[in-house]
Structure 1
């Protein structure tokens, strides 16, 4: 499974919808960021749909599309594993997203009715030893076998074992030290509020560091 890009695009679709026009307060900005993160990670779409004046169905569809993207970025189109195992991984990735550890804190108005919202994040570290544990299992299991499995059988077995290791760790996830990220709520030329994708990517990279996946 690819280690890079697994979650890099998780926020791209959901977060670029624009907030409704009109004057925004610091509480509004904080609620907007909170609802966007909750929608993108926790699949909690109701508040986000209200704020962005979209439908819950549309927001949920974006969330599901993001899960599809994660599966693609993880390389499952090329693994040749069974549909059942793919479904297991998809469910696990959804649980991983919901394990995102963040807290939206204060919001400050900057200039031109724009805002800066502080988000406290704890990096997800639960999968940091998966690769080493999987390598050890492969060595222990296959180093002395008399009959070598087919490539398809071997790949399915290894991917199944990795799923088991990851699922066990996800049941009691670990996290790194807290850090703070700034998310800006800006206004476009039409007077609609939005969150820059670069800010959301920075939050995502902090929540799920590539070297931990």
Structure 2
């Protein structure tokens, strides 16, 4: 990766009115090759323009039974080959680890609505999975990793990285300490980039 540019604003394609950039030196990959990375942006994001901070699951936190996944990946039309014009989301449910051969730092999930299978698809990789705490706060509990490709997205559960897995949460925390990110005893605040369209 040599770098990239992202856009945000309205969750509608071609209506983004803010952008941000990064270069290859701004991307920190997980040292154990777990499918997660931290991107350091060159400029501050305008949090009044469709971007916001989100809590991140603390170490040891397991994903919930019911979650939401967001992204700009392929949709169900035309054998799952259509690109969406708006940000997509799906309600997904935790599944047994054996259903997607998840390792200890991953979890399996997919969902259904009115008999139609819902899950992430090609183009959603790196997007966030959102959980809700007992007091109603939203927090980042997973990241889309991999799963069946079109036209089979959703036929078996997709594979997601657990943000609360200790080495993942510690990695995110350590990468953000030098940027004066607000911390508390429970969680760390970072940017959720799943609501942003990126190009490489």
TM-score normalised by the chain length of structure 1 = 0.23
Higher RCO (CA-CA < 8 Å; seq separation 6+): 1
> Which has more helix, going by share of residues?
1
> Which has more strand, going by share of residues?
2
Max Rg structure: 1
